[in-house]
Amino acid sequence: MVTPSVLVPRVESLASSGIKSIPKEYIRPQEELNNIGDVFEEAKKNEGPQVPTIDLMEIESEDKVVREKCREEIVKAAKEWGVMHLVNHGIPDDLIDRVRKAGQAFFDLPIEEKEKYANDQASGNVQGYGSKLANNASGQLEWEDYFFHLIFPEDKRDISIWPKTPSDYTKVTSEYARLLRSLASKILSALSLGLGLEEGRLEKEVGGMEELLLQMKINYYPRCPQPELALGVEAHTDISALTFILHNMVPGLQLFYEGKWVTAKCVPNSIIMHIGDTVEILSNGKYKSILHRGVVNKEKVRISWAVFCEPPKEKIILKPLAETVTEAEPPLFPPRTFAQHLAHKLFRKTQDSLNPPKAD
């Protein structure tokens, strides 16, 4: 039996081996390389478009005018950008710090220890420790390792595959999942009202408390000797309803906005939130699922904690809600289950893998 570490080379192993140049499988096509710059320099820029920061302090204010102003700001950012920094989001800073420390502690383990949690993508077992396999037409790899697991609802989790080290990993991750699920409900309420729908409508359409799945992917981006040639995560949109992201305050997220790649700043005590394809479809394109990617650097390890809020794969048909469709605004998306949407995207990605989006 061949061990997973032999089958799947870990990027961390490559990065720590002392290589000065990266293997060709990690080098991006020329049209992408034209716009990969120094992420630290990019993050310092104050000119040009900036990802909006939304203060959620008043999202449940008893003052209707104050509450609606907060909700309107969420809706505006969702329509114009599809991504935002959320501050005063109600999740305690000390809990977020513990979530970060727990994930960091897992990735600080020796690779042999992490391999005990290795997933088996070939057999469809995607939960656990992994690295990207070359599954697109160009056979390209991304400069990251990850840990992927379902964290909510609690009755759907498989705690047996969660890290045992550090010892508080399960406790802090479970508490974070509960609070994040509550935050997702507040955001979905605001987005529903922004479409002129009843407050609970989008929540119901994506599966409600019982069926909406929260999947956490901890992305570990090692230092890269040639960051100008690689990507941590290639350009994509999220298939989720919403995605919430923490990071270790090392820049790397870039958004494709108005034809250019914009680097997100590191906003203290914030959670980054993306609108995913699911909400874009339900809103008939009124809310945007923005194209984004992760860049790497040679100085600092970057870690991010992405939680994808996903509808059940087969139970719900995703299509523009009737209230979002008019004669002037016909449906932009055909009806599909979440599983069908995912399959369609993978097919498209294979077709388009040699034609990534171009930017100045």
Enumerate the active-site residues. Answer: 217, 236, 238, 292
Residue 4 to residue 333: CA distance in whole angstroms: 39
Q: DSSP H helical segments within the chain, as ranges?
A: 4-7, 11-16, 30-33, 39-44, 64-80, 93-108, 111-115, 169-194, 201-205, 208-211, 277-282, 338-352
Residue 251 to residue 303: CA distance in whole angstroms: 10
CB 215 within 8 A of CB 153: no
Closest C-alpha among 103, 101, 84, 105 to residue 93: 101
Residue 31 to residue 139: CA distance in whole angstroms: 16
CB 244 within 8 A of CB 177: no
Going by the DSSP 8-state scheme, the letter that residue 35 receives in this structure is T
CA 220 vs CA 139, 347, 352: distances in Å: 21, 26, 26
SS3 317: strand
CA 325 vs CA 136, 160, 266, 333: distances in Å: 35, 45, 37, 11
Residue 131, beta-bridge partner list? 145
